[in-house]
């Protein structure tokens, strides 16, 4: 059975998350979605969208189910899936989680990619973050949660732009925090299509690196990589957030990838906010391996049926706080050297035995 895609909708208080969600839910193609409001307060959906409700589940006029989570998200997702299998609720094919405006989305993404009983049924499809054009800069200066919300986004939606005729400073700050992210104006987008696109299976845009295929981008200047790889790197010195991409031209073997996953699970902690990547494997050149993780929690390895585009290099995107790109680069280089030595010893032993 195919895993159900989960889209996380995040953004700071008053940034327009619920307004965007309301617009999306009017899309007929989202009639079989489930909305989970991970919030301490009441469900913040427009009154006209609500048709009927029970203690925990709200039926929206377009057919969506909505529930409010004040406790365990794992329990909620598990219960929803079991009710779906038993036919107690409609067979939903998409989940949208609206997070609390005061929280960053890492704990929610951790549940999706790592929790037992969840990762076998659901998959993280993407993170959409709303940013307020009027108050966004002040919010980023005052609240670290908002910085993480932006840095972790796959797509950023700028709201209230009609009230701010000169949003250039906000756009620049958002791009510093998340240089590879698609930035959209809420006035010009189809909200339903945005959510549905986020649920598409690993769109190619999510894996694009810089326009310098063998170099590293840092502060707008290209630098040559070394060995057979490169990394694309931007840093917001005020925010302490770094987002960079490790690129490898040569395919990896299974041992190298296994060592990397083990090293990240063992050595990473709160500093590693998110990691996602497509891996070119020696034994399966036509099908990339996919890795997802948050902090020390790594999703079990999965595979795509085919590459999403012509670029078949290994690309791993890291989002960190207070952890330099060079530390991750060094870790991966050490793993590659260890794998190479292990292969060489194994090959010598095989040759001697032959």
Mean pLDDT in consecutive groups of 10 residues from the start of the chain, 354 residues: 89 88 88 78 47 51 61 84 89 88 84 86 92 92 90 93 89 89 91 81 43 30 36 49 87 92 78 84 92 70 84 89 84 91 83 73
In this structure, the answer to whether residues 255 and 114 fall within a common structural domain is: no
Q: What pLDDT does 14 receive?
A: 85
Question: Exposure pattern of 102-125 as b/e (b: 16+ CB <10 Å)?
Answer: ebbbbebbbbbbbbeebbebbbbb
In this structure, the answer to whether residues 130 and 80 fall within a common structural domain is: yes
Helix (H, G, I), strand (E, B) or coil at 58: strand
In this structure, the answer to whether residues 185 and 53 fall within a common structural domain is: yes
In this structure, the answer to whether residues 151 and 298 fall within a common structural domain is: no
Q: What pLDDT does 68 receive?
A: 63
Nearest to 101 by CA among 7, 9, 19, 12: 12
In this structure, the answer to whether residues 28 and 143 fall within a common structural domain is: yes
Radius of gyration of the chain, Cα coordinates, nearest whole angstrom:
21
CATH number at residue 238: 3.30.1220.10
CA angle 204/235/314 to nearest 5° reads: 35
In this structure, the answer to whether residues 255 and 172 fall within a common structural domain is: no
Helix (H, G, I), strand (E, B) or coil at 230: strand
In this structure, the answer to whether residues 164 and 301 fall within a common structural domain is: no
Q: Which domain holds residue 71?
A: 4-198
In this structure, the answer to whether residues 150 and 217 fall within a common structural domain is: no
The domain boundary residue, chosen from 198, 230, 258 = 198
Residue 157 near residue 149, CB atoms below 8 Å: no
In this structure, the answer to whether residues 107 and 184 fall within a common structural domain is: yes
Positive/negative CA dihedral, 98, 63, 190, 14 = negative
Backbone dihedral angles phi then psi of residue 245, each to the nearest 5 degrees: -120, 125
In this structure, the answer to whether residues 168 and 246 fall within a common structural domain is: no
In this structure, the answer to whether residues 22 and 163 fall within a common structural domain is: yes
The domain boundary residue, chosen from 169, 198, 227 = 198
Model confidence over 292-317: pLDDT tens digits? 776 666 766 788 888 888 899 999 98
| Measured CA distances, 79 to 67, 117, 260, 350 (Å) | 11, 11, 34, 52
Helix (H, G, I), strand (E, B) or coil at 55: coil
In this structure, the answer to whether residues 91 and 189 fall within a common structural domain is: yes
Q: How far apart are CA 128 and CA 98, in angstroms?
A: 10
HSE-CB at 318 with a 13 A cutoff on CA atoms is: 30
Q: What pLDDT does 170 receive?
A: 94
Residue 332 corresponds to which tokens in the numbers above? 């991966």
Domain count, the chain: 2
């Amino acid at each position: 059975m195919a895993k159900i895609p989960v889209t996380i909708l995040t953004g700071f208080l008053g940034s327009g998350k619920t307004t965007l969600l309301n617009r999306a839910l009017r899309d007929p193609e989202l009639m079989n979605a489930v909305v989970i409001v991970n919030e301490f307060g009441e469900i913040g959906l427009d009154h006209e969208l609500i048709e009927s409700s029970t203690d925990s589940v709200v039926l929206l006029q377009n057919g969506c189910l909505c529930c409010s989570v004040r406790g365990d998200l794992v329990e909620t997702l598990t219960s929803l899936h079991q009710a779906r299998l038993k036919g107690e609720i409609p067979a939903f094919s998409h989940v949208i989680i609206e997070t609390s405006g005061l929280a960053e989305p890492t704990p929610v993404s951790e549940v999706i990619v790592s929790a037992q009983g969840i990762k076998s049924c659901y998959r993280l499809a993407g993170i959409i973050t709303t940013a307020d054009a009027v108050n966004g800069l002040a919010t980023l200066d005052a609240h670290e949660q908002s910085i993480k919300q932006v840095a972790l986004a796959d797509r950023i939606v700028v709201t209230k732009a009609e009230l701010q005729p000169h949003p250039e400073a906000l756009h620049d700050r958002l791009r510093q925090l998340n240089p590879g992210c698609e930035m959209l104006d809420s006035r010009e987008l189809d909200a339903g299509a945005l959510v549905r696109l986020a649920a598409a299976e690993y769109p190619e845009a999510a894996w694009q690196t810089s326009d310098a295929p063998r170099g590293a981008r840092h502060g707008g200047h290209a630098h040559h990589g070394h060995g057979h790889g490169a990394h694309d790197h931007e840093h917001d010195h005020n925010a302490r957030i770094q987002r960079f991409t490790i690129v490898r031209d040569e395919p990896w073997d299974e041992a190298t990838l296994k060592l990397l996953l083990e090293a990240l699970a063992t050595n990473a902690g709160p500093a590693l906010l998110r990691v996602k990547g497509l891996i070119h494997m020696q034994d399966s050149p036509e099908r990339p391996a996919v890795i997802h993780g948050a902090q020390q929690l790594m999703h079990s390895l999965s595979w795509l049926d085919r590459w999403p585009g012509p670029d078949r290099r290994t690309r791993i995107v890291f989002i960190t706080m207070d952890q330099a790109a060079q530390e991750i680069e060094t870790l991966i280089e050490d793993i590659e050297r260890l794998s190479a030595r292990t292969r060489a010893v194994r090959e010598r032993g095989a040759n001697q035995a032959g």
